Amino acid sequence: MSGNWAPGRDYSAVRPPPLSVDDYLRGILAHDRVVLARAITLVESSRPDQQQMARELVTRVLPHAGRSIRIGLTGVPGVGKSALIEAFGSLLTARGHRVAVLSIDPSSERSGGSLLGDKTRMVKLSTDPNAFIRPTPNGLVLGGIARQTRETMLVCEAAGYDIVVVETVGVGQSEVTVAEMTDFLLVLMLAGAGDELQGIKRGLLELADLIAIAKADGANVVAAKLAASKYAYAMHLLADPEQGMAPVITCSALDGSGLEEIWKIISERTAERERSGYLHARRIEQNINWMWSLVDQQIHDMLRQRPAVEAVARNAATRVHDGVLSPIMAAETIISALFAEGGADRPMPAASRALPTTDRSPLEKAKS
């Protein structure tokens, strides 16, 4: 509760008027930042009526989305992600791009604290009229954050942002989630004391489209260059025969070195992938994944919203815990209870009745 709250005061005067889906869509397409922020709050809402509205809005936003270059950015806390976004984002807005920055931070769910999303990050970019920064919503598991970030990304694209950066901490599965929703994954690394390749997840290097050794300035330049050559060797061994080797460079948010090169690599690589059809195929695959994650999530929501089914689920969990029911039988009991409750034949939501529109690649959009 805000410290300024006082009993008896009429707060209806300060509360913004509710918006309809039409109002949201109109505001988003008119690049209205206030409406955009409210639309994202709607997408993040856990209230069933608002979720329904959000689904309708996202469905209507889809034909206007898909035009941006989606960049994933990952690296351990302290590697320099926010400093890089600040410097790199400012370079892009100075060239007339509109940049949205979203973050995925599953740590906030576990620890109650956040490794990203600190208000003091990206001070300059947060006041740039051509940038829009949205921190991670709190209190969600990775699956929920992923859905919301994906939908937020689409809303931002419809609001005219042509570059979307999705940032995450390099912990757990979050970088896989980011790679699954973006076109290009930039991995930031630090030069260490000669053992850079130890403890690095092989999977992360396989997902990377570009590795940048950060903080390559001052006395750290030599160590950064050395680390870059070690990573380049590792990437050579891991190279994807179809996509080739992900380049390794050095950069500094402090003196700006390497930032131009990062943009050149991202823009050229994305254009090349559009021409080859790879990007289109990647986005189609991402849409299929999105569909299944929505199915999973709606089944979970149905479970939670039906007290009788939830009671069956709780009871089944207790019996599995006590060793008197197998997990297989327990799962079947829960699914049977869900369908017996009429979960399978509930009315189709309005959003799904609308004409489906595929999430096309930036080049195709530009052509149409």
Contact footprint for ligand GDP (CB under 6 A): 75, 77-83, 214-215, 217, 252-254
CB of 241 to ligand GDP, least distance (A): 32
CB of 149 to ligand GDP, least distance (A): 17
Q: Which of 27, 258 has the CB closer to ligand GDP?
A: 258
| CA distance linking residue 247 with residue 283, whole number of Å | 22
Is residue 107 within 8 A of residue 117, CB to CB? The reply is no
CB of 210 to ligand GDP, least distance (A): 16
CA angle 33, 67, 24 (to 5 degrees): 35
CB of 251 to ligand GDP, least distance (A): 7
DSSP character string of 49-109 = HHHHHHHHHHHHHGGG---SEEEEEEE-TTSSHHHHHHHHHHHHHHTT--EEEEEE-THHH
- Alpha carbon distances (Å) from 135 to 1, 100, 166, 260: 20, 11, 10, 26
Which DSSP symbol is given to 240?
A: B
Q: Which of 88, 184 has the CB closer to ligand GDP?
A: 88
Q: Determine which helix (DSSP H) or strand (DSSP E) holds 187, and give its type and residue range.
A: strand 184-189
CB of 227 to ligand GDP, least distance (A): 14
CB of 306 to ligand GDP, least distance (A): 41
| CA distance linking residue 234 with residue 218, whole number of Å | 26
Sign of the Cα pseudo-torsion (137, 143, 149, 151, in order) = negative
Q: Which of 256, 343 has the CB closer to ligand GDP?
A: 256
> Which token pair is 57?
């809005």
- Residues 6+ positions from 328 with CB-CB distance below 8 Å: none
Q: Which of 85, 159 has the CB closer to ligand GDP?
A: 85
How many residues are recorded in the chain? 368
Q: Which of 215, 269 has the CB closer to ligand GDP?
A: 215
| CA distance linking residue 172 with residue 166, whole number of Å | 16
Beta bridge partners of 212: 188, 249
Longest dimension (CA), the chain: 68
Q: Which of 79, 104 has the CB closer to ligand GDP?
A: 79
CB of 105 to ligand GDP, least distance (A): 11
Q: Which of 254, 271 has the CB closer to ligand GDP?
A: 254
CB of 137 to ligand GDP, least distance (A): 18
Cα 189 to chain center, whole Å? 20
Is residue 159 within 8 A of residue 38, CB to CB? The reply is no
Q: Which of 214, 337 has the CB closer to ligand GDP?
A: 214
Buried b (16+ CB within 10 A) or exposed e, 96-105: ebbbbbbbbb
CB of 219 to ligand GDP, least distance (A): 9
Q: Which of 27, 75 has the CB closer to ligand GDP?
A: 75
